[in-house]
Structure formats: C-alpha cells, structure tokens
C-alpha cells in the first residue's frame, strides 16, 4: 500500500539516506561522480534538507508497505505555478505507478492552493524525461544553468492543471 505524507523536520535523515541510495543510480552516465558527490553534499545533507524544509519547500515522504521508498518537495513559484523541486523514487520501486501517484498528488496540492500549472526541471539525459512527457508534461524551455562550476542542462517542463 502506498502512503504519501508530509515529512517532518526530524525525518530529514530518512530523506538524506534515500537521496544517497537514489542519486547515483539515477545520474551515473549523465553526471560525473564529482558532480554527483557535490550535489549530494550541497542539497542533501541533513542540515541542507532541514533548511529547505524550514524555508521554502514542502517535503513529502513516500512509503510503500510502510517502508520509505522516495520523496518529493514542492515549492510555490508564483501565483500560478507550483514547482516539483525534487521527486525521487528508489530504483527497485520504479515502474510500479509511484511516480504517477506522486505527480497526481502534486496536482491536487496545486489545485488546493489555486495554482493552474505544475512545473519541474529534469536533466536532459535523465530517463524521467520520458515519464514526464508520457503523463502530460511539455517542454517549455531548455536551460543550461551554471551551478558552482557545473552546468545543469535541464528541460523546464510544465503541465496545465
């Protein structure tokens, strides 16, 4: 059984652990090991996660049969757009409809807050791009974002709600 629930501040450790289990399989072959290490250190330490939770992102834990298998973070961009800032699922649980459940959940959150659009960035080499396209997200922009000496080569994708 799938359960999506608000993550508490003290659960940053669980998200940190999930990030380390998910990030390398997701980005190997796309990013260098140095960039993956840097990204995990910059955004996924317990303290960095807590800071994001305290300031501008709402985190959700995803439990499958009561076991944490992923997480998502949402952030208001403006009066029209809710952003999916992070959406990660353990590789062994991908393909079971969890990603779809999470994006459906994000749509409900967007509607509840009066938003008309869901938005996300996805690395142009990430297999998740095909998933997002399949469920109705459309590319609105290709961006190359300088990030501490690295380049984040992403698609910005949106879905009208």
pLDDT tens-digit readout, 78-98: 999 999 999 999 999 999 999
Split at pLDDT 50, 70, 90, the class of 9 is very high
Split at pLDDT 50, 70, 90, the class of 140 is very high
pLDDT tens-digit readout, 38-52: 999 999 999 999 999
> Angle at CA 119, nearest 5°, toward 118 and 120?
135
* CB contact at 8 A, 53 and 47: no
Mean of all residue pLDDT scores within the chain = 97
Give the position of tokens 């393909």: 95
pLDDT tens-digit readout, 28-38: 999 999 999 99
Three-state secondary structure call for residue 49 = helix
pLDDT at 26: 96
Predicted model pTM: 0.95
Q: Cα–Cα distance between 1 and 125 in angstroms, integer?
A: 31
Domains of the chain (ranges, CATH numbers): 2-160 (3.40.630.30)
* CB contact at 8 A, 74 and 109: yes
Neighbours of 45 (CB within 10 A): 14
Closest CA to 16 of 87, 65, 71: 71
**Region 127-150: what's the mean pLDDT?**
97
* CB contact at 8 A, 91 and 27: no
Neighbours of 105 (CB within 10 A): 16
> Angle at CA 155, nearest 5°, toward 149 and 159?
140
């Amino acid at each position: 059984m799938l359960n999506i629930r608000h993550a508490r501040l003290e659960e940053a450790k669980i998200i940190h652990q999930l990030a380390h289990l998910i990030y390398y399989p997701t980005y190997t072959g796309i990013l260098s090991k140095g960039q993956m290490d840097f990204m995990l250190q910059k955004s996924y330490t317990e303290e960095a996660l807590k800071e994001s939770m305290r300031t501008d992102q709402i985190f959700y834990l995803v439990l499958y049969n009561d076991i944490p298998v992923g997480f998502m973070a949402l952030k208001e961009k403006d009066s029209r757009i809710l952003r999916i800032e992070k959406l990660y699922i353990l590789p062994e649980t991908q393909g079971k409809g969890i990603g779809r459940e999470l994006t459906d959940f994000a749509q409900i959150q967007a509607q509840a807050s009066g938003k008309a659009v869901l938005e996300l960035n996805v690395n142009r080499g990430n297999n998740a791009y095909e998933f997002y396209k399949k469920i109705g997200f459309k590319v609105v922009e290709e961006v190359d974002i300088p990030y501490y000496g690295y380049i984040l080569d992403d698609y910005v994708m949106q879905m009208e709600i």
